[in-house]
Amino acid sequence: DGKKVIGYPFIIFSLIIYIYFLKINFFPVYLILPYLFLGFVFFVFEVVKKGLARKYFYYFFLIAISVVLASFSYIYNVDSDLFYVKENLILSLILFFSAFSIKKIYKLYDVDFNFKNVVFFASIALAVQLIFSLCVNFLPSLFNVVIKIVNIDGLSSDALQDFSEARLVGIGASFFASGIINSFFLILLSYNINFNCERRNYFLLLTLYLIISITGILFSRTTIIGILLSSLFFLNYRNLFKVSLVLVPSVILLFVYVRGLAESNSQIAFGLDFLFNFEDSQASSSFDGLKEMYEILPDSLKTWILGDAKYKIVSDNGEFLEYYKNTDVGYFRVIFYNGLIGLLFFLLMTFYLLKKSFYFSRFLIFLLLICFLSLNLKGVANIYFFCFLFFVMDSNFEKS
């Protein structure tokens, strides 16, 4: 009906803004701001009506302790920055309150705000973003227009142009950030396909899974972590044969086709060379660089315990230059800013949010946690961009 015609695209558009934290290069810059302000109002109304839920209280408590620790480190260290606080703690609060707007939008269009529907529409949002990004990368004139409008990782248009000559650039989230998003949602989508899917939607969800997996890996090789972990849900007697009838032929055909593209297109080759010839691929040199970063360790007890309150280095006009100590390893970046104590609370809050959001499946929590721990071996990866969508649900699981 008319409500669905308007409601479904608006839900998908809102999820794209929320998940990718879309920024543009002119006012209001952060497209999530209306969702944040309205979400805060909806949160207040919910607290007035029902009282403050215990899970929200403990979340605020963990945030408060993390802020105190970060503040102590910031004050104690003479030369400090606030990038960790802004990009993790404040971002967490922004996404928490904004999730209440997403919840309200679902209800406004008579769509149940539950696990099944959030994963379904979020998967469509990811597929739309990936396909749009793919089209933009192969149309240089459109790419030039889009990067002047959309802010991607704080990089300048010139830097993005340079990147696009060698690899595909995701619109909204690119490189490692794209891999983080793809990996977590592939796990959620795989769970939905295997344990919470209506028969009529089975092949639609499977198609979305294939699109996110194959297109996602072109933009970020890190997507392979999500593919490997999510595939574990398919290893059950009920679905293995049925899925293999679709996945095996599809993967073989796409593998052959995409390999042919990789031989003639450097952007495709960047994302896929490691599958065919790892030793001579860019992924191999990237892996060697990552190994060298593991030799960059704190050189004082103070840094190990409290950190240096330094997270990244930017130019005078705000353009990203490099990470502090020139290391991208997630665990060490948190330690360098906030010490081992800060890292402990970073891990503790992650586990708490996963436990309260996905209480209905220990194995799902386990895989999401393994994904989180694995991704932080490469760079800083958090779960806020998707977890709060489930954390704020009244009841976030519904059997089909």
Query: What would the DSSP string read from start to end of 327-367?
Result: ---HHHHHHHHHHHHHHHHHHHHHHHHHHHHSTT-HHHHHH
* Residue whose C-alpha is closest to residue 22's, from 103, 95, 104: 95
At residue 270, does pLDDT exceed 70?
Answer: no
Q: What is the pLDDT of residues 3-60, one digit of tens each?
A: 788 999 999 999 999 999 999 988 888 999 999 999 999 999 999 999 999 999 999 9
What does the pLDDT average to over 372-386?
Answer: 95
How high is the pLDDT of residue 182? 96
Q: Tell me the backbone φ, ψ of residue 139, rounded to 5 degrees.
A: -125, 85
Does residue 400 surpass a pLDDT of 50?
no
Give the pLDDT of residue 243.
Answer: 59
Instruction: Tell me, yes or no, if the pTM score tops 0.85.
Output: yes
The confidence score (pLDDT) of residue 64 equals 95
Which run of H or E residues covers position 39?
A: helix 33-50
Question: In terms of C-beta density within 10 A (0-12 exposed, 13-18 middle, 19 or more buried), how is residue 18 classed?
Answer: buried
pLDDT-based confidence at residue 78 (cuts at 50, 70, 90): confident
292-311 pLDDT per residue, tens: 889 889 989 999 999 999 99
Contact 4, 121 (CB under 8 A): no
CA distance 94 to 96: 5
Please give the average per-residue pLDDT across 69-73, as a whole number: 91
For the stretch 192-247, pLDDT in tens is: 998 887 878 888 998 899 899 988 988 888 999 999 999 888 876 555 555 555 55
* DSSP letter (8 states) at residue 324: G
pLDDT at 156 over 50: yes
DSSP classification of residue 87: I
First to last CA, the chain: 22
Q: pLDDT for 99-148, tens place per residue?
A: 999 999 999 999 999 999 999 999 999 999 999 999 998 888 999 999 99
* Average predicted confidence (pLDDT) for the chain: 86
Q: Which two tokens stand for residue 288?
A: 């060697």
Token output for 264 = 């003639």
Residue among 191, 116, 122 nearest 400 (CA): 116
Question: Which residue bears the tokens 């963990």?
Answer: 62
Q: Does 163 or 188 have the greater pLDDT score?
A: 188
Confidence of residue 165 (pLDDT cuts 50, 70, 90): confident
Looking at residue 128, its pLDDT comes to 96
Cis peptide preceding 298, ω within 30 of 0: no
Residue carrying structure tokens 């769970």: 191
Phi and psi at residue 110, in whole multiples of 5°? Answer: 60, 40
> Would the pLDDT of 349 be above 80?
yes
Q: What is the pLDDT of residue 307?
A: 92
Report pLDDT for 272: 62
Helix (H, G, I), strand (E, B) or coil at 120: helix
Percent of the chain with pLDDT over 90: 56
Contacting residues for 105 by C-beta, under 8 A, at least 6 apart: 10, 11, 14
pLDDT at 231: 87
Which two three-digit tokens encode residue 14?
């809102």
- Position 80 scores a pLDDT of 86
Angle at which helix 223-230 crosses helix 176-195, to 10 degrees, equals: 20
Looking at residue 30, the DSSP 8-state letter turns out to be B
Residue 196 to residue 252: CA distance in whole angstroms: 27
Using CB atoms within 10 A of its CB, is residue 259 exposed (0-12), middle (13-18) or buried (19+)? middle
- Residue 363 above 90 pLDDT? yes
Looking at residue 288, its pLDDT comes to 76
| pLDDT, mean of residues 374-395 | 93
Most distant CA atoms of the chain, gap in Å: 64
